[in-house]
Amino acid sequence: MYRNLVCLWLCLLIGVCALGQKVSDSSQNVIGTWEGTLDAGAAKLKLVLHIEAKDGALVGRLDVPAQGASDLPIDSLSIAGNTLKFEMKSLGATYEGKLESNGNQISGEFRQLGQAFPLVFNNTSRTATKGLLTIRKVAAGGHSLNLLVGGEGSPTIVLEAGFGAGLASWSTVQSNLAKFARTVSYDRAGIGQSEAGPKPRAAKQIAEELHLALQNAGLGPPYVLVGHSFGGIYVRVFADMYPKEVAGMVLIDPSQEAFDDWTRTHKEAQRAGRDEEMAKASQGVRDESAQVSASYEQARAAKVPKGIPVILLTAMKDETMPESVRKVWAEKHEEWIAKVPGGKHVIVEKSGHFIQAEQPQLVIDAIKQVADQAHASKP
C-alpha cells in the first residue's frame, strides 16, 4: 500500500472529460488557444487552454507544461454572454471568467476543493490544436467504462493507470503515442467517469472488464500492456488470463507482491495516516483497496506469456519513500524481472514515481521498443 497511497494523492491533480455546449455566435469569440498562470501562492503553474468546435459543440482541453501534462480534456465548457465556465469533476474544480470586450483576455477564478485562485487567460491568436484522442463510453458487462482512444496500427497499446488514477495520468504519453500507434487508456469501474462495477474489485475482475471493453470497442489484439504502479499488477493478471492476445509489456515503477511482503515486517516501510487518506477516496478506490491482498495473490500466481518482450522501469528519485526502502523496492524489481527470459530492467535515476509525467519520452521510447519487437516477431 506504500506506493498505492502516494499514487492516489498525486492523482488528485489530474482530470478527465466530456463535451460542451452547442456553438453559437458568442462561442466563436473563445475558440482558439489561451494561456494563463494559476497563482496558488508558493506555486505558480502555466496553463494552456484549447477551445475548439467539434460536431457542432464546444470542447476544451488543458495543458500543464511544467507537469508534463497535455490534452487533459474538460468535463464541460460553456459560454453565456461574456461569461466562460468550465468544470473538471474528478478534480472538484471549476473555472468562471469574464471575456473582455476586446476579446483578448478572460479574467476569473479557478476553484478547487473550497479554495479560489485568480486565473487570467490571454488569447494567443493561435488556432486550437486538433486532439488525436476521442472519449468513448463502452459497455463492460452491466456497466460502462470511460475509454480514451486514438491512433492507428498494430499492436494496440493499452495503458493501465496506478491505484486511484485514471486515463488522464497518461496525457502526455498517450497524445504522443497516438501519432504512430493505436492507443487506449481508461478509467476503471467506479473511478473518474466510469460507472461502478460488481464487487469484489480484485485484479481478475478488473482484467475481465477491460478485456470485454476492448472487444466491445473494436480494439482487438495483439496488445502491448503498459501498467503504472498498481496497474502493473492488473496488467500482469490480464496477460496471464489472455496470454495469446498479449504481445509485450512495459511496467512503470510497478507494485510488486514481494515488496508488499517485505513492508509487512519492516516498520520503516509503514505509512502513517493511510487510513485517513483512504477514507477521503472515492468508493471505487476504496473497493479496489479492499482487494489489494487478493490482487497481489492473483499476480503472484500469474505467469508472463512465453516469448514476449518485457521492460520494467524503476524510479529512484522518490522523496515519498526513504532511501533504504527505495533500495529494497528496486531490489524486488530486479528479482522479478530476472525471472523473465529476455526481460529488461531500466533504472531511472532522475525521476519520481510518475515517470510518465516527469520523463515521458523515456516511457514513450520503452513502449515503442516493445511494440516494435512485438511487430517484428509477428508471423
Span 47-59, average pLDDT: 83
pLDDT of 65 higher than 50:
yes
Spatial contact of 80 and 158, defined as CB atoms under 8 Å apart: no
Query: CATH number of the domain at 15-123, please?
Result: 2.40.128.20
Range with top average pLDDT, 89-98, 120-129, 133-142: 133-142
Instruction: Break the chain into its structural domains and give their ranges.
Output: 15-123, 132-377
Closest to 30 measured CA to CA, from 113, 136, 124, 109: 124
Q: What is the C-alpha separation between 353 and 7, in angstroms, rounded?
A: 8
Residue, of 283 and 106, whose pLDDT is higher: 106
The Cα–Cα gap between 368 and 359 comes to 15
CATH number of 132-377: 3.40.50.1820
- Res 14 pLDDT > 50: no
Say if residues 7 and 64 touch (Cβ distance below 8 Å).
no
- pLDDT tens digits for 215-264? 999 999 999 999 999 999 999 999 999 999 999 999 999 999 999 999 98
| 15-123 and 132-377: identical CATH topology | no
Range in 20-24, 132-136, 148-152 the model is least confident about: 20-24
